[in-house]
A = this chain, B = another copy of it.
Amino acid sequence: MTKEKVFEGSIRQKNKAIIFNAAKKEFVTYGFKGASIKRIAERANIARANIHYYFKDKTDLYQQLLSSIIKVWNNDYDTLTADNEPKEVLSAYIRAKVMHAKNDPDASRIFASELIHGAPVLNEYLNSDFKVWLQSKVAVIETWIQQGLIDDVNPHHLLFMIWSSTQHYADFNVQVVAALNKDAMNDEDFEAVVASLTQIILKGCGVK
């Protein structure tokens, strides 16, 4: 490993991160098809041709961005395990999902837009890794039901409810702030969301 190679590697990493951030905004604003490499380059302050130097084409850039988003989710917001009582685990999971909606709404929006438009890129993921990951979550809930710790709810629909009701504050934020008569949601607002969702979902599942 020569000195030059290490240096190249770090430039490459830095520039890819800059491009990712610019691409995130562009894809959120215009969707995959509507996003333009020209505007991504302008947002990143990088010459248009350089985007093509780092990424094969627009699809490649988009795929890598989606992969990085999913990787962060699986590392940072994946708290639904059987290690504790359902009350604590579900509360922590709801909180983690709401905080993600607060801290990185654009990631949630890009994922949502991809699914809404039929998941042309993520279809393979949904039918492989996602199914395995989901089954581990469903198993946790089924165990609780068998142990009588929560009501006999459909595990899939409970998970969908938690995902949709938390992601809503990222994906539909523009409608939420209009409804709440605000310019933007603040820390207090997000705490109120956590409290409301936790209250209704835990009671709704008969969590002991």
Contacts and interface: CB of A to CB of B under 8 A. Distances in A.
Interface string A23-49: 000001111111100000000000000
Main secondary structure of the interface of A (DSSP, over half): helix
A199 B178 CA distance: 29
B156 A115 contact: no
A175 B33 contact: no
Interface string A105-144: 0000100110111110001001100110010000000000
Contact of A116 (B34, B113, B165, B197): B113
B116 A29 contact: no
A168 B174 contact: no
Contacts of A178: 126-127, 130-131
B117 A28 contact: yes
Contact of A204 (B123, B126, B175, B204): B204
A201 interface: yes
A153 to B, nearest CB: 6
Given A31-B31, A134-B179, A165-B164, A174 B204 contact: no
A109 B115 CA distance: 10
A180 B123 CA distance: 14
Q: How many copies does the complex hold?
A: 2
Nearest to A205: B200
A76 B95 CA distance: 35
B119 A109 contact: no
A141 B131 CA distance: 38
Contact of A203 (B117, B169, B203): B203
A115 B134 CA distance: 27
Contacts of A167: 164
A174 B34 contact: no
B119 A171 contact: no
